[in-house]
Structure 1
Amino acid sequence: MLRLPEAYRSLFKRPFGTLYGSVGELLPQLEGRPVYAVGDVVTHNLLTAGVVPDITIIDGHTMRTPCNRSPLLLMRWVTVKNPPGTITTDLEDAIEEVVGDPPAVIFVEGEEDLAVIPLVLAAPDGAAVLYGQPEEGVVLRLVDATAKQAAASMLKVFVRE
């Protein structure tokens, strides 16, 4: 398991991609791409806009409060445990599995906030990864070599336990 030390948490509060005020603003950039969503609200907003993500990673919460907008998607569900502030091997393995065989939902018992990092690393070039930026909007990260390098650099501050 990888744990994010408290001293580095502020680094992960900045958007890891382009910040938009709403999902509606970025819809044109999703056309023709695999769409991967991290978060219950982002997934709900994509579905409301008529976009069904190829992969969804949710935990049934938004900002650590139970989310009444958790989607009921009719696709394969994989459940993993992932405590707050960590990236478990189970989460990484589940991401690899569903990226190789979409569509799927990964339901996280714990917290899915840091799943964006291994998801960008596993995603094919050209994929669109979206996640919520609390109180600000939605972040879109288009996957390419630069995105993968940035994600790999982010992992370097984690401690393996």
Structure 2
Amino acid sequence: MLRLPPGQRSFFKAPFGVLFFSLDEGIPTLAGKRVYSVGDVVTARLIDRNIMPDVAIIDGHSMRTPCNRSPAVFPRCIRVKNPPGTITDELIEALDLALADPPTLIYVDGEEDLAVIPLVIAADEGGVVLYGQPGEGVVFREVDGTAKEKAKEMLALFDRIDES
């Protein structure tokens, strides 16, 4: 398991992509691309607009408040444990499975916020990862070589700990 040390958390506050005030502003940029979503609200809003994410990662919460917008439209759901402030090996394995057989929902028992990082690393170039930036809007991150390198740099800030 990878754990983000408290002293490194400030590096993850800035948007990791282009910040749009609303989802609708960025939708035109999604045409013809694979779409990946992280977060209950972003995922629900995409589905409300008839955009089916290839992979969606949710945890049943929005800003720590229970969120009952779990989409039932996915033909496949993988459940994983991922405590806050971590990226578990189980989550990374689920991402690989989901990316190999879209559309897939990954339902996280814990917190999904940091899943953006391994998702950008594992996803095919040319796709777009969307996630909510609390109080600001929606971040759209095109998956390209630059994004993958930045995600690897971010991952290097984590500590590897024993999951037992």
- TM-score, normalization by structure 1: 0.98
Q: Indicate the RMSD between aligned Cα atoms, in angstroms.
A: 0.8
Query: Structure 2-normalised TM-score?
Result: 0.96
Equivalent in the alignment of 1:104: 104
What is the CA distance between 1:47 and its match in structure 2? 1.2
Q: For residue 13 of structure 2, what is the aligned residue in structure 1?
A: 13
User: How do 1:11-160 residues align onto structure 2 when only pairs under 5 Å count?
Assistant: 11-160=11-160
Pick which of 70-79 and 37-46 moved more: 70-79
2: CA distance, partners of 1:131 / 1:74: 18
Superposed structure 1 runs of 4+ greater than 4 Å apart: none
Unaligned runs of 5+ in 1: none
Q: Extract unaligned runs of 5+ from structure 2.
A: none
Counterparts of 1:71 and 1:21, CA distance in 2:
23
2: CA distance, partners of 1:50 / 1:78: 22
The 3-state SS of whatever aligns with 1:8 is helix
CA contact (8 A) 1:60 1:70 kept: yes
Percent same amino acid among aligned pairs? 59
Distance in 1 (alpha carbons) for counterparts of 2:101 and 2:50:
22
Contact conserved, 2:37 with 2:129, CA < 8 A, in 1? Answer: yes
Deviation string 1:62-95 (CA, Å, 9 cap, x unpaired) is 1111013222223100000000000000000000
SS at match of 2:33: coil
